[in-house]
């Protein structure tokens, strides 16, 4: 047995030993991907291979804290029901001995290739004492991966103003006969940038150019870049570390966003517009996209943030993926919508129309901790309105979503959400015909709010008590809940599909 296979088996065994107990934790998510146990971060290798979606993730299979990185693995036929698979990559070679860091996947000649960063510490200072190279692993069955003998396929960094050691997270794609990849990097004096490489065979790579680079308040390092074509434009998604807060923006430790432009494949330069966030909540980082057989551009991100307090760590797990979201360009900006397949999870509809109220309103049948709410509110003459989720009046728990008409901001307030971090996040939102449309997905310890058809999204972990399941509407002035639909949602990760409707049936 190879060293790698041994390391993979050891990791899978470690997970299996605790997963049952971990599975009983009240905050375990029912329809969001997390590992059966222990730590996860970035989505990796998101791909559509042999008719199935594969999603890998950064994983430490020996504790609920970050450590030598492995790749965990799930797959799905519909981006909704996910099956856990054995650990796919484990550190085992000299070039990746301290971690198989983030990367991506691509199919070539019927095989699935993972391109990842081999990571090594070379001393005690984790900022300066490291070496990062780019590597490949291959699989014929989409489950068992072997590292290539040619590794690393990208070794030393190119000459120029390119930091030689912080060089990671390759995202690979094919265009015509050539393969390309972008890699996260920074200049020698700490300005985030992205490098572009080209290859004929995935094995031999030539450096093309610095495809984009920060100017001004744009962070000291860009992690997890992704470039793709969307509606005829080239989009660069990246996760800048260390942008300073500006007004209501950039209050998370690190940010994830995009620029839209045109990539000149000859010069390797992206001519692009301004940086926009992909999500305005507390917990969204390192997004990665793939394209499926229907041509849909789908994005998943890590639903957490570096250095955040994660109360689930006490129960031997940490971190999760967001719902997969389909990306579109509308009026020069990206909008993201939940995949239609998520509607397979719906059951028990409760619906209301034209509920006019002022002050406070509780509606029968509208409560829960694993639910979808689709609500259109007409602001009428109100100055402020919103709803409270996961309410428990006795314990004083609530997660508040409020819209202030004078400010034009939607605020997510988790000051009284339960355990974990507090604070607020804000997104600028305009009413359409005096109406606000919210599609809210709640899982046991998460909330995702899609605003006005996905123009803005706010994603957060929250850690309420089990009895905190109330939903309450409130308004200063009169509002009308024009329509409200609430569904309970089924479990879909690591379990048998409860029903398997085709897309046309939902």
Count of residues making up the chain: 506
3-state secondary structure of 26: coil
Q: Output DSSP code: residue 8.
A: H
Q: Which helix (H) or strand (E) holds 324?
A: none
Q: Output DSSP code: residue 83.
A: E
378 binds ligand FRU (CB under 6 A): no
3-state secondary structure of 161: coil
Give the nearest distance from C-beta 169 to ligand FRU in angstroms: 5
Q: Of 73, 75, 168, 361, which one interacts with ligand FRU (CB under 6 A)?
A: 168
Q: Of 35, 58, 151, 460, which one interacts with ligand FRU (CB under 6 A)?
A: 58
| Radius of gyration for the alpha carbons in the chain, expressed in angstroms and rounded | 22
Residue count at the site for ligand FRU (CB under 6 A)?
A: 14
> By C-beta, is 192 or 261 nearer to ligand FRU?
192
> By C-beta, is 288 or 417 nearer to ligand FRU?
288
3-state secondary structure of 453: helix
The single residue of 42, 283, 369, 378 carrying the catalytic annotation is 42
Q: In the stretch 447-476, what mask flags binding to ligand FRU with x, by CB under 6 A? A: ------------------------------
* Cα angle 162-164-165, degrees, rounded to a multiple of 5: 130
- Name, in order, each residue with C-beta under 8 angstroms of 50's C-beta and a sequence gap of 6 or more: 142
Q: How many CB atoms lie within 10 A of CB 82?
A: 23
Instruction: Judge contact between 475 and 398, C-beta under 8 A.
Output: no
> By C-beta, is 44 or 426 nearer to ligand FRU?
44
Give the nearest distance from C-beta 49 to ligand FRU in angstroms: 22
Q: Could you tell me whether strands 146-147 and 130-139 are parallel, antiparallel, or unpaired per DSSP bridges? A: antiparallel
Give the nearest distance from C-beta 52 to ligand FRU in angstroms: 25
38 binds ligand FRU (CB under 6 A): no
Give the nearest distance from C-beta 65 to ligand FRU in angstroms: 12
| CA–CA distance, 81 with 27 (Å, rounded to integer) | 19
| CA–CA distance, 110 with 50 (Å, rounded to integer) | 8
41 binds ligand FRU (CB under 6 A): yes
Give the nearest distance from C-beta 114 to ligand FRU in angstroms: 13
> By C-beta, is 271 or 309 nearer to ligand FRU?
309
Q: Of 137, 286, 304, 457, which one interacts with ligand FRU (CB under 6 A)?
A: 286
> By C-beta, is 322 or 492 nearer to ligand FRU?
322
Give the nearest distance from C-beta 254 to ligand FRU in angstroms: 8
224 binds ligand FRU (CB under 6 A): yes
Give the nearest distance from C-beta 275 to ligand FRU in angstroms: 18
Give the nearest distance from C-beta 286 to ligand FRU in angstroms: 4
> By C-beta, is 285 or 474 nearer to ligand FRU?
285
69 binds ligand FRU (CB under 6 A): yes
> By C-beta, is 318 or 391 nearer to ligand FRU?
318
| CA–CA distance, 323 with 359 (Å, rounded to integer) | 33
Query: Binding to ligand FRU (CB under 6 A): which residues in 99-158?
Result: 101-102, 117
Q: Of 11, 14, 33, 42, which one interacts with ligand FRU (CB under 6 A)?
A: 42
| Phi-psi map region of 57: left, alpha, beta (phi>0 left; psi -120 to 50 alpha) | beta
Strand partners, 221: 241
> By C-beta, is 73 or 437 nearer to ligand FRU?
73
- Tokens encoding 185: 């990097």
Give the nearest distance from C-beta 304 to ligand FRU in angstroms: 9
**Strands, DSSP E only, in 27-167?**
38-49, 52-60, 70-76, 82-89, 100-108, 111-121, 130-139, 146-147
Task: Give start and end residues of each alpha helix (H) in 341-399.
Answer: none
Active site residue 129: no
35 binds ligand FRU (CB under 6 A): no
**At which residue do the structure tokens 């490489």 appear?**
197
169 binds ligand FRU (CB under 6 A): yes
> By C-beta, is 100 or 479 nearer to ligand FRU?
100
| CA–CA distance, 345 with 372 (Å, rounded to integer) | 9
| CA–CA distance, 46 with 29 (Å, rounded to integer) | 20
223 binds ligand FRU (CB under 6 A): yes
Instruction: Judge contact between 84 and 74, C-beta under 8 A.
Output: yes
- Tokens encoding 223: 């992690």
| Phi-psi map region of 160: left, alpha, beta (phi>0 left; psi -120 to 50 alpha) | left
Residues labelled catalytic: 42
Residues interacting with ligand FRU, by CB under 6 A?
A: 41-42, 58, 69, 101-102, 117, 168-169, 184, 223-224, 285-286
């Amino acid at each position: 047995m190879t060293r790698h296979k041994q390391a993979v088996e050891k990791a899978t065994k470690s997970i299996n030993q605790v997963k049952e107990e971990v599975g009983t934790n009240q905050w375990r998510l029912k329809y969001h991907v997390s590992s059966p146990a222990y730590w996860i971060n970035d989505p990796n290798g998101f791909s559509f291979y042999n008719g199935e979606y594969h999603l890998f993730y950064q994983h430490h299979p020996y504790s609920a804290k970050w450590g030598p990185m492995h790749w965990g693995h799930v797959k799905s036929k519909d981006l909704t029901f996910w099956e856990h698979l054995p650990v796919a990559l484990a550190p085992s070679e000299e070039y990746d001995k301290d971690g198989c860091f983030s990367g991506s996947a691509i199919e070539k000649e019927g095989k699935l290739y993972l391109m990842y960063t081999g990571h090594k510490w070379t001393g005690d200072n984790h900022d300066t004492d490291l070496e990062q190279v780019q590597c490949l692993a291959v699989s014929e069955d989409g489950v068992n991966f072997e590292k290539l003998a040619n590794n690393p396929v990208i070794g030393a960094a190119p000459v120029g103003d390119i930091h030689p050691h912080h060089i990671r997270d390759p995202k690979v794609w094919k265009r015509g006969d050539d393969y390309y990849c972008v890699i996260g990097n920074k200049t020698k004096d700490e300005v985030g940038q992205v490098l572009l490489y080209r290859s004929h065979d995935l094995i031999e790579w030539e450096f093309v150019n610095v495809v984009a680079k920060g100017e001004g308040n744009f962070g000291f390092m860009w992690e997890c870049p992704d470039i793709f074509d969307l509606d005829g434009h080239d989009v660069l998604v990246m996760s800048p570390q260390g942008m300073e807060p500006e007004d209501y923006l950039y209050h998370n430790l690190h940010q994830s966003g995009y620029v839209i432009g045109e990539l000149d494949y000859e010069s390797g330069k992206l001519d692009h517009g301004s940086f926009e966030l992909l999500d305005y909540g507390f917990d969204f980082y390192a997004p990665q996209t793939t394209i499926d057989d229907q041509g849909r551009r789908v994005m998943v991100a890590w639903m957490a943030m570096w250095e955040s307090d994660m109360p689930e760590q006490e129960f031997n797990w940490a971190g999760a993926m967001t719902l997969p979201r389909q990306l579109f360009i509308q009026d020069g900006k990206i909008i993201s919508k939940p995949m239609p397949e998520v509607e397979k999870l719906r059951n028990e509809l409760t619906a209301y129309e034209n509920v006019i109220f002022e002050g406070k309103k509780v509606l029968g049948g509208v409560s829960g901790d694993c639910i979808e709410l689709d609500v259109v509110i007409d602001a009428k003459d109100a100055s402020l309105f919103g709803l409270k989720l996961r309410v428990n009046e006795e314990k004083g728990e609530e997660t508040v979503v409020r819209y202030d008409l004078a400010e034009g901001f939607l605020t997510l307030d988790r000051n009284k959400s339960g355990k974990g971090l507090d604070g607020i996040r804000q997104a600028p939102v305009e009413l359409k015909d005096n109406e606000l449309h919210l599609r809210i997905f709640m899982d046991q310890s998460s909330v995702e709010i899609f605003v006005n058809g996905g123009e803005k999204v706010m994603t957060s972990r929250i850690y309420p008590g089990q009895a905190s399941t109330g939903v309450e509407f409130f308004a200063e002035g009169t509002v009308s809940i024009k329509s409200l639909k609430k569904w309970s949602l089924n479990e879909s990760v690591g379990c048998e599909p409860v029903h398997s409707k085709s897309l046309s049936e939902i």
